[in-house]
Amino acid sequence: MGDVPLQRPAFGAATGGFMPLLARVAVLACCLAGIISGVWSVSPMIIASAVEAGGPDLTRLLRGMAAIKALLCVGLLAGVAWRLDAPISVLGLAAYGTSAFAMGAGLALTWSIVSLGLGGLLLHAGLFGGLVLLARDKAVGTRFHQMLIRR
């Protein structure tokens, strides 16, 4: 009786349409929590003094770089949202959430120009971690395989 093999449901059909939405909201909430914590950790007076010390040209350059990196983060979050169409474990969701939190906090710290070292470390660790998670995730490989079969 115990030898019945477990069948994996079709991609994206295991939880209906509710759980993928909940997972996407959770990852987005982690990213927003990272942004809020990064903004909250730096005083506006310290930001103003850093901007004044660096000058307007350096401030524009650094904030422009932060905006470009924000686009990279949006691209990675879109990939994570695409991946979250499949069922995911709590540990996997926590890993993607941690990556999103680090990216958000790093973006906020880089934009503030006060803590460029920590901001850059968090931002790049979140980006790299998210890319590694996507590259090693079997659900991503399954989805690519199904896309190739349909063509």
User: Are 21 and 94 spatial neighbours (Cβ–Cβ below 8 Å)?
Assistant: no
User: Are 136 and 112 spatial neighbours (Cβ–Cβ below 8 Å)?
Assistant: no
3-state secondary structure of 138: helix
The pTM assigned to this predicted structure is 0.82
Residue recorded with tokens 């690519």: 144
* pLDDT for res 46: 87
- Around Cβ 43, how many Cβ atoms within 10 Å? 11
> DSSP letters of 2-67?
TTPPPPPPPTTTTTTTHHHHHHHHHHHHHHHHHHHHHHHTS-HHHHHHHHHHHHHHHHHHHHHHHH
* pLDDT for res 18: 52
| pLDDT < 50: residue spans in the chain | 1-2, 4-17
